[in-house]
Amino acid sequence: MPSIVVVGSANVDIVASVLRLPVPGETVTGAELNRFPGGKGANQALAARRLGADVSLVARVGDDAAADEALELLRQGDVDLSECRRIAGAATGTALIAVAPSGENQIIVAPGANRLLTPDDVQAIDADAMICQLEVPAAVVVEAARTFPGFFCVNLAPAAEIDVQVLQRADLVVVNETEARWYGVSLQACVGLVATTRGAGVATLERDGELVAEARPPGVRAVDTTGAGDTFTAALTVSLAEGQGPEQALRFACAAGAVATLKMGAQPSLPDRESVVKWL
């Protein structure tokens, strides 16, 4: 069982299921509203745990009722939350999500306490692997990349300016196709593996611009794609940390990401290992 530390965000997702996503300036009514625990960091931590890793989450939440909501499934799932602290006077991160019947979504994040994680919070961490995303301050990711000695994965989501040292340090960089376009040639600075997801299309693993592996996710009828990229990132890291080869790890990650679209909500839909293996 690999040990994985996830440094990242924990949110409450307020999800409106709508018949179609609004265009700018448009009001769409008739939505059904739900709340789920979410946040890229928390989703990746719980996904890695459900897939069999020993997981700890480094995160910040507020001292409000939403903090309990944000952490509930992580607690039930046995993710180590000893480095997940409440900050007095801060609000827990909130994501406003619209989901269409096709499973496509639009997300707006109010980071709240996630902004209060500091570089001091990621010192002297010991584990087989670490996963970071970009919903916490960039300086935290830079420091984590600089000091963590094990396998280091960064999921460049949401797309944002990133220090080139992080790209040079990462053993694994994960982007979706929109993020890949946003970063463009700057991804050429990556020295390790670069995984690119393309929704239901073929996902690739490359090193130095050379194709290492490719895999197509199993065909599923997506209900909600929220958290699918987080599941892919966690599954790929778990699988590589277990010592699986790139082809096998990518197939596993694609299947895990696809299974994560079958239910509403980011965390309720994160699959366990058995259900991913079934789809493989």
Binding positions for ligand RIB, 46-85, rule CB under 6 A: none
| 112 versus 229: smaller Cβ distance to ligand RIB | 229
One-letter amino acid for residue 216 of the chain:
R
Candidates 67, 230, 239, 255; binder of ligand RIB (CB under 6 A) is: 230
Provide, rounded to whole angstroms, the least separation between the CB of residue 259 and ligand RIB. 15
DSSP code of residue 261? T
Q: Which residues on neighbouring strands pair with residue 13, listed in sequence order?
A: 36, 95
Binding mask 130-169 for ligand RIB (x = CB under 6 A): -----x----------------------------------
Task: Report how far residue 114's alpha carbon sits from residue 87's, in angstroms, rounded to the nearest whole number.
Answer: 10
Provide, rounded to whole angstroms, the least separation between the CB of residue 47 and ligand RIB. 10
Helices (H), 154-267: 164-169, 177-183, 228-241, 246-259
| 135 versus 179: smaller Cβ distance to ligand RIB | 135
CA 50 to chain centre: 14
Provide, rounded to whole angstroms, the least separation between the CB of residue 185 and ligand RIB. 25
| 43 versus 237: smaller Cβ distance to ligand RIB | 43
Contact present, 85 and 71 (Cβ < 8 Å) = no
| 172 versus 213: smaller Cβ distance to ligand RIB | 172
Give the residue among 279, 259, 277 at the shortest CA–CA distance from 269: 259
Binding positions for ligand RIB, 16-45, rule CB under 6 A: 38-40, 43
Task: Report how far residue 69's alpha carbon sits from residue 11's, in angstroms, rounded to the nearest whole number.
Answer: 9
Task: Report how far residue 97's alpha carbon sits from residue 92's, in angstroms, rounded to the nearest whole number.
Answer: 16
Helices (H), the chain: 40-50, 65-76, 138-147, 164-169, 177-183, 228-241, 246-259, 273-279
Candidates 56-64, 159-167, 168-176, 226-234: pick the segment binding ligand RIB (CB under 6 A): 226-234
Task: Report how far residue 238's alpha carbon sits from residue 106's, in angstroms, rounded to the nearest whole number.
Answer: 28
Candidates 103, 112, 217, 227; binder of ligand RIB (CB under 6 A) is: 227
Q: Does 13 bind ligand RIB (CB under 6 A)?
A: yes
Binding positions for ligand RIB, 166-225, rule CB under 6 A: none
| 213 versus 236: smaller Cβ distance to ligand RIB | 236
Task: Report how far residue 127's alpha carbon sits from residue 132's, in angstroms, rounded to the nearest whole number.
Answer: 13
CA 200 to chain centre: 17
Task: Report how far residue 37's alpha carbon sits from residue 102's, in angstroms, rounded to the nearest whole number.
Answer: 21
| 195 versus 213: smaller Cβ distance to ligand RIB | 195
Candidates 100, 107, 116, 220; binder of ligand RIB (CB under 6 A) is: 107
So which residues are the catalytic ones?
230
Provide, rounded to whole angstroms, the least separation between the CB of residue 38 and ligand RIB. 3
Give the residue among 42, 24, 27 at the shortest CA–CA distance from 111: 42
Interface size with ligand RIB, residues (CB under 6 A): 16
Candidates 56, 196, 197, 226; binder of ligand RIB (CB under 6 A) is: 226
Question: For binding to ligand RIB (CB under 6 A), which residues are involved?
Answer: 9, 11, 13, 38-40, 43, 95, 107, 109, 135, 226-227, 229-230, 266
